[in-house]
Amino acid sequence: MEIIRTEALIKDYELGKVKVRALDGIDISINSGEFVAIMGPSGSGKSTLMHIIGCLDSPSQGEYYLDSVLVSKMSKSALAGVRNSKIGFVFQSFNLLPHLNILKNVELPMMYGGLSASKRKEKAREILEGVGLADRLRHKPGELSGGERQRVAISRAIANDPSILLADEPTGNLDSQAGGDILEIFDRLHKEGNTIIMVTHDPLVAARAQRIIRIKDGMIDNGDLDS
């Protein structure tokens, strides 16, 4: 089943008086349960694509369907709901809230989703136990190693059982040991049926994906060819 489809996505930025085209007609289709890597040199537009897929940004032209819903024309507050329920983000720099303990960090999307305090606490605990952090629930992110922090971030990303997991260089700030552990988790999540879209520079990381989408100058380089 198709979970993501984009049609002729175009994104323009205004830098002063100059118009810069970051995306120039992107058509992609991703099925539910796929593990896809997006690769491309910096400045290629892959981050912009990622932001649009993650509903943090809207395209200037073209259409984007998520779960068969046209989200490219949605209002900002409707997009907030889409991000909350359908998308889980994992960032290179973890982006945990430093003042909250990791349990609270994982509860965050569930809080914005309106889940009751007791339910979300229970679920956050369950997820964190699943990534081996059961004894760290009350720790602040600053007290954890990079690998542990990224595991918290993944836990947060999957807290609302999203339709897609978006990971932006998730191993970029980790040593190879911790990075490997994180990729194991992504593999496991993939096997459990999650759809994963991972932006990466690293061919070894991309090799874990079923398919690689290459972006160059805002366009798809090798389209829908299977890797």
Q: Which residues bind another protein (CB under 8 A)?
A: 51, 54, 56-57, 76-77, 80-81, 83-85, 89, 91, 95-97, 99-100, 108-109, 111-114, 156, 160
Instruction: State in angstroms the smallest separation of the CB of 44 from another protein.
Output: 16
Task: CB nearer to another protein: give 25 or 113.
Answer: 113
Indicate the residue among 70 and 97 with the shorter CB distance to another protein. Answer: 97
What is the smallest separation between the CB atom of 19 and another protein, expressed in angstroms?
Answer: 18
List the 69-70 sheet strands across, edge first. 18-31, 2-15, 61-66, 69-70
- Rounded to the nearest whole angstrom, what is the least distance from the CB of residue 2 to another protein in the complex? 24
Q: Which is nearer to another protein, 136 or 156 (CB)?
A: 156
Q: Which is nearer to another protein, 65 or 91 (CB)?
A: 91
The minimum distance between CB 28 and another protein, in angstroms, equals 19
Closest to another protein by CB, 68 vs 77, is: 77
Query: Smallest distance from the beta carbon of 202 to another protein, in angstroms?
Result: 21
Angle (nearest 5°) at CA 203 between 201 and 204: 120
